Amino acid sequence: MNVSIQFRDKFFIPIWQKIQNGNRLSLEDGVALYNTNDIISLGKMAHFVQQQKSGDAVYFVLNRKIEPTNICVLSCKFCDFATKPGRPDAYEMTNEDIWSKLTPDLHEVHITGGMPAHWGWEHYLEMLSGIKEKFPEIDIKAFTAVEIDFFAKKFRMSIEEVLRQLKEVGLRTMPGGGAEVFSERVRRLLFNQKIGAKRWLEIHRIAHRMGIPTNATLLYGHIETIEERIVHFMKLRELQDETGGFLSFIPLAFQPGDTGIKAHSHFTSAIDDLKTIAISRLMLDNFPHIKAYWVMLTEEVASVALNFGADDMDGTVGEEHIAHDAGAITPMQLAKNQIIKIINDAGKIPVERDVYYNPINVYTDHVIGKIPYLNSVPFYHHFEKQQFKILPINPRRMGLLSEKGQIDAGLFSLMDYFQQESHLALLPWCIATRDQVKSVMLFSNHGWGDLDGKLIGVTDETATSVRLLQVLLGKRYGVRARFERLHAGVNDYSAYDAVLLIGDEALRRNKFGLAGFELVFDLAREWYEWQKLPFVFAVWAVKKSLPEETKKELSEIIGHSLSQSEPRYAEIGELRGKEIGLNRNEVEEYLAGFNYRLGEREKEAMREFKSLAQETESVNIKGVHHG
Ligand code: SF4
């Protein structure tokens, strides 16, 4: 994707170079970005990164925010939500009250609130297990690091033990609140009873290690300096490098309202809000998502933010006491339809998601699915979108959306194409290997013959590679293993005898190894040695019902992009390769190993695999299924 920006601020030129080359921004870069008046160029740079990560998608989740009580043992100066027991404004919800606020159509419940001295540990466990039991489809995002620290101290448990017990009763992810700004100076002045940066980061580190993804926040617009904001980003970036467990970053504009920070009683400006969103997108290069928190920003600013780096909006929030009581002017309930409208008006794709950012529904036309792996870059690098919009989505999710008629075209996982042949028409392109693939890999502690009865963790991202594994095990090696689905986000692989990974994650692990597994098998090579045929992992297909003219136009766009990309694999894949840890030569070699044209040999391979897949007993895959 070539983007040229006419900079008014010449300081941006070296920064833009770094961004385009996938290099990290420094503290000085961050400060220079804040000091600019060239806000449009800043937004364009952030939008470039946003497009690389999320295409045209803007996510939202239908959630309910619940604050079980406003009674809190702490008294942070910026908080006008909390109160003390016995005061007229104090409230406490029973667990029954909480459960009564939920409905099965929600996808997420977000629970945070005050920390009362008199609630027992069992009360919290019952709160979560009751939700899980009554609403198994609702994912629980609950308790900030501040609350987790409070539980550990009050109930005399380690952080690990608190999280283990909460996870057992249904905790799926943790919100990012309580980070405020990672500055000891600010902490001492505004929230000196609260945990500091070190403890906050440590709790999130432990959560990530235990397979609990989390979010992160920054509370800005009070007494913090610009440098302190940038240092905050850098500390988050460092932890994300280590764990990969953050899902999204949410900049929270300070709401002065009736807080204890009287000297600082103005709202942040829209310019500051947009700068903070854009700069967070640029500094946090390893965070998948940046959220525009419309409750605090107002609808208008949130809408512009969708072209300034933000790719996520909060869903139906319900009763949002903390922001509202401090004076947020946005109406408390923004209906799903309004969110969809805001996103559509910004020229984006409204994508309803689950807690792991898996798309559940999309609400616009002309959506083209894009497999978000390096091997599909040649199809999209020079893709001239015209009326189409690009949705990065893993192959399995693309299949599910296509079943509902919500995707017009895309690179479909082969198994999904087989299942939907009645309404999908093939286009003459595919992702096929010659022999090895390097990105559909089985990491194992056992040779093929010894996998009988063993537990294999399998990717949740595609049906084709999993079916290929079952065909190889059953037909080539005559063994029968047990399978469990891995979920998106952080997984604990030590529970498995072998793990099947695909895409960029497999490519990275293939190069750097996967701790705990000694053997690595390339499934395409296994297939090739056995069948002497290429393997077709994905095919381009389009809805049969689309007008012939649209199909033709799309076909031409794909063909054009591919022919532009073919002579330049090293160049077009460099940025993505860097994220994976591959150099230019490795990228070039990897992409040159694919055949992107659906020829006769590929069609023969598809027929052969289809018949072997039909003959192979389908083994039940146990596992968490989200969305
Ligand atoms: S910000 Fe949180 S911890 Fe601080 S007083 Fe308010 S509710 Fe309590």
- Whole-angstrom Cα distance, residue 32 to residue 11? 7
Question: Who has greater pLDDT, 263 or 623?
Answer: 623
Flag the least confident range among 226-230, 328-332, 477-481, 612-616.
328-332
Same-domain status, 162 and 229: yes
Token duo for residue 609: 């695999």
Per-residue pLDDT band for 619 (boundaries 50, 70, 90) equals low
Per-residue pLDDT band for 201 (boundaries 50, 70, 90) equals very high
Residues listed for the chain: 627
User: What would the 3-class secondary structure string for 200-216 be?
Assistant: HHHHHHHHHHCCCCEEE
Ligand 1 center–CA 72 separation, angstroms: 6
Ligand 1 pocket residue status of 78, Cβ below 6 Å: no
Q: Up-side HSE of residue 347: CA atoms within 13 Å toward CB? A: 11
Neighbours of 206 (CB within 10 A): 19
| Residue 126 one-letter amino acid | E
Per-residue pLDDT band for 626 (boundaries 50, 70, 90) equals very low
Ligand 1 center–CA 56 separation, angstroms: 36
412 within a domain of the structure (yes/no): yes
Per-residue pLDDT band for 28 (boundaries 50, 70, 90) equals very high
Ligand 1 center–CA 255 separation, angstroms: 14
Range of the domain at 373: 361-435+536-599
Residue in the structure block whose two tokens are 């979010």: 215
Mean pLDDT of 413-438: 93
Collapsed DSSP state (helix, strand, coil) of residue 164: helix
Contact 210, 248 (CB under 8 A): no
Residue 66's pLDDT is what?
93
The DSSP call for residue 74 is: -
Ligand 1 pocket residue status of 537, Cβ below 6 Å: no
Same-domain status, 260 and 290: yes
Instruction: Flag whether pLDDT at 319 surpasses 70.
Output: no
Q: What is the CATH number of the domain that holds 275?
A: 3.20.20.70
End-to-end CA distance of the chain: 32
Same-domain status, 152 and 26: yes
Residue 332's pLDDT is what?
38
Instruction: Flag whether pLDDT at 403 surpasses 60.
Output: yes
365 within a domain of the structure (yes/no): yes
497 within a domain of the structure (yes/no): yes
Question: Who has greater pLDDT, 65 or 312?
Answer: 312
Same-domain status, 350 and 367: no
Same-domain status, 352 and 370: no
Instruction: Flag whether pLDDT at 440 surpasses 90.
Output: yes
User: What would the 3-class secondary structure string for 467-499 be?
Assistant: HHHHHHHHHHCCCCCEEEECCCCCCCHHHCCEE
Residue 356's pLDDT is what?
86
Looking at every residue in the chain, the average pLDDT score rounds to 89
548 within a domain of the structure (yes/no): yes
Same-domain status, 106 and 137: yes
* Single residue among 530, 563, 579 that ends a domain in this structure: 530
- Whole-angstrom Cα distance, residue 349 to residue 511? 35
Question: Who has greater pLDDT, 269 or 155?
Answer: 155
Same-domain status, 406 and 429: yes
- Of 194, 200, 255, 324, best ligand 1 pocket probe by most atoms within 8 Å of the beta carbon: 194
Ligand 1 center–CA 107 separation, angstroms: 26
**H-assigned helices in 312-459:** 321-325, 336-345, 377-380, 395-403, 414-419
Mean pLDDT of 118-123: 96
Same-domain status, 352 and 424: no
Collapsed DSSP state (helix, strand, coil) of residue 566: helix
Q: Which atom of ligand 1 is nearest to the CA of 194?
A: 3
Q: Which atom of ligand 1 is nearest to the CA of 114?
A: 7
Question: Who has greater pLDDT, 534 or 262?
Answer: 534
Collapsed DSSP state (helix, strand, coil) of residue 194: coil
* Single residue among 302, 325, 360 that ends a domain in this structure: 360
Same-domain status, 355 and 365: no
Q: What is the CATH number of the domain that holds 584?
A: 3.40.190.10
The H or E element containing residue 312 is: strand 312-313
Ligand 1 pocket residue status of 146, Cβ below 6 Å: yes
619 within a domain of the structure (yes/no): no
Question: Who has greater pLDDT, 295 or 322?
Answer: 295
Token duo for residue 113: 């609130």
Q: What proportions of the chain, in percent to the nearest 5, are helix, strand and coil? A: 45, 20, 40
Contact 214, 179 (CB under 8 A): no
Ligand 1 atom 3: residue of nearest CA: 74
- Whole-angstrom Cα distance, residue 276 to residue 293? 12
Ligand 1 pocket residue status of 76, Cβ below 6 Å: yes
Flag the least confident range among 201-215, 549-563, 608-622.
608-622
Per-residue pLDDT band for 2 (boundaries 50, 70, 90) equals low
* Single residue among 360, 389, 414 that ends a domain in this structure: 360
114 within a domain of the structure (yes/no): yes
Instruction: Flag whether pLDDT at 78 surpasses 80.
Output: no
Same-domain status, 213 and 327: yes
Per-residue pLDDT band for 625 (boundaries 50, 70, 90) equals very low
Question: Who has greater pLDDT, 387 or 218?
Answer: 218
Same-domain status, 329 and 420: no
Ligand 1 pocket residue status of 75, Cβ below 6 Å: yes
Contact 294, 334 (CB under 8 A): yes
Same-domain status, 295 and 411: no
Ligand 1 pocket residue status of 142, Cβ below 6 Å: no
Per-residue pLDDT band for 97 (boundaries 50, 70, 90) equals very high
Token duo for residue 228: 């302190």
- Of 79, 148, 187, best ligand 1 pocket probe by most atoms within 8 Å of the beta carbon: 79
Q: Write the DSSP assignment of 423-440 as a string of letters.
A: TEEEEEEEEEESS--SSE
Residue 335's pLDDT is what?
62
Residue 321's pLDDT is what?
46
Give me the number of domains the chain comprises: 3
Instruction: Flag whether pLDDT at 127 surpasses 60.
Output: yes
